[in-house]
Amino acid sequence: MPSPSLDFWFDLASNYSYLSVMRIEALAARAGVAVRWRPFLLGPILDALGWEGPPFVVQKEKGAYVWQDMPRQCRKYALPWQQPTEFPRRTVLATRIAVLADDEPWLPDWCRTVMTRNYGDDREVDSPEAVAHMLTALGLPAQRLIEEAGSDANRARLRERTQTARGLGIFGAPTFFVGEAMFWGNDRLEDAIEAALCPPQNQDIV
């Protein structure tokens, strides 16, 4: 019997991904579920679906609700929160770093650092200066990683990751997969972990 695991697809610019990025590692470890972190860019998928931008921006009523909901959710999970003065913030370089770090032990720390700076501190996260500062704070070789993240090979890797997300039918972030079963939204994180612990024959395919 293989060890229980799930795939965690998220966008570093996504506010609801912030909630899951900050919670998933502790919850999954407590349950004995391995997590495969899969950062991607949601923007190109929304473009392919015909959206003119993130739903929370395009539909002002939904956006107004989100900025009421996020403080409640952050209080619920004891997470820092400052409504960003820019939304969505550009996170392309930060995401290239995350893709470069695929399966590296520091990937979760990197993602939490980016998310906290954006949604906890309302600070820019994607300039080379900001990225270098965050990498250095984690004890990582900032200049080398920034250069590698911007290489043609790594840019292609991020494009392929995003195409893979599109091929899986992902339409929002965060999204979790347990085998072929999809769970969408931060409020489905616990459900995905529970499903990973169930025998495959008892999992519903969505």
pLDDT digits (tens, 9 = 90+) for 65-119: 999 999 999 999 999 999 999 999 999 999 999 999 998 999 999 999 999 999 9
Active site residue 3: no
Helix axes 15-31, 107-115, angle to 10 degrees: 140
**Residue 48 near residue 20 (C-beta atoms within 8 A):** no
Asked if the model's pLDDT at residue 55 lies above 80, the reply is no
Which of 14, 17, 20, 127 is an active site residue?
A: 14
| Residue 106, domain extent | 5-202
Q: Helix %, strand %, coil % for the chain, to 5? A: 55, 10, 35
Report the pLDDT value the prediction gives residue 48, as an integer from 0 to 100.
Answer: 87
| DSSP summary character for residue 205 | P
- To 10 degrees, the CA torsion angle through 140, 141, 143, 145? -70
Report the pLDDT value the prediction gives residue 145, as an integer from 0 to 100.
Answer: 98
- Which phi-psi region, left, alpha or beta, contains residue 32 (left: φ > 0; alpha: ψ -120 to 50)? left
| DSSP summary character for residue 1 | -
CATH no. for residue 156? 3.40.30.10
- Indicate the number of domains in the chain: 1
Q: How many separate helices (H) and strands (E) can be counted in the chain?
A: 10, 4
